[in-house]
């Protein structure tokens, strides 16, 4: 009876390796350029961030400035540091990024998205951790457009009976 329920570990390992999700993360190779950097693009609202990631001491540069001067609010800096905290890589990578479009909140979200994608490009084994945290999904919420016959996107003009 006990021999029927025992499973050969080699068969189990082969079955796990054959599954497409596991095979994707195992077979994926790092995408690193000749300078040792990983590149990714992050987007949020109307902002687009180009992010380069390389091993270093944890210095983050945004548009040629330090992150503390570009993103003055601590909440925005915390938002950018989330992928490193979740993947336990805090202080191990230098980040250089350029951001265009939108406001500061959207730009911080775009940098976070770009950092997450660059981490996966540098170290493909981090994909399940970052994916479960929701860092690899582009937040598709944008500003709703204004419709004709309305004062704003949904607000009507003031009604006057007479």
pLDDT tens readout for residues 107-123: 999 999 999 999 999 99
Residue 139 lies in a domain: no
pTM of the model: 0.79
Residue 5 has pLDDT above 70, yes or no: no
Residue 44 lies in a domain: yes
Residue 23 lies in a domain: no
Rounded Cα–Cα distance for residues 55 and 25 (Å)? 21
> What CATH number is associated with residue 38?
3.30.230.10
Complete DSSP assignment for 48-63: EEEEEEEESS--EEET
Rounded Cα–Cα distance for residues 29 and 41 (Å)? 18
| Cα dihedral 122, 124, 130, 136 sign | positive
Residue 157 lies in a domain: no
Residue 20 lies in a domain: no
| Domain tally, the chain | 1
Residue 14 lies in a domain: no
Q: Which domain holds residue 67?
A: 28-133
pLDDT, one tens digit per residue, over 7-59 is 555 564 565 556 555 555 456 898 999 999 999 999 999 999 999 999 999 99
In what side-by-side order are the strands of the sheet with 47-55?
A: 38-44, 47-55, 93-100, 60-62, 65-66
Residue 74 lies in a domain: yes
* Higher pLDDT pick, 5 / 41: 41
Residue 80 lies in a domain: yes
Rounded Cα–Cα distance for residues 138 and 134 (Å)? 9
Residue 94 CB coordination number (10 Å): 16
């Amino acid at each position: 009876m006990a021999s029927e329920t025992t499973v050969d570990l080699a068969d189990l390992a082969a079955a796990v390796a054959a599954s497409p999700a596991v095979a994707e993360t195992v077979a994926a190779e790092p995408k690193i350029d000749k300078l040792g950097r990983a590149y990714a693009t992050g987007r949020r609202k109307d902002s687009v961030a180009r992010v380069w990631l390389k091993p270093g001491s944890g210095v983050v540069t945004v548009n040629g400035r330090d992150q503390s001067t570009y993103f003055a609010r601590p909440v925005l800096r915390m938002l950018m540091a989330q992928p490193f905290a979740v993947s336990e890589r805090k202080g191990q990578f230098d980040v250089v990024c350029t951001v265009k479009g939108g406001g500061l909140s959207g730009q911080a979200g775009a940098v976070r998205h770009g950092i997450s994608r660059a981490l996966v490009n540098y170290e493909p084994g981090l994909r399940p951790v970052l994916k479960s945290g929701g860092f690899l999904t582009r937040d598709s919420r944008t500003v709703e457009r204004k419709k004709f016959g309305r004062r704003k996107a949904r607000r009507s003009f003031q009604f006057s009976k007479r």
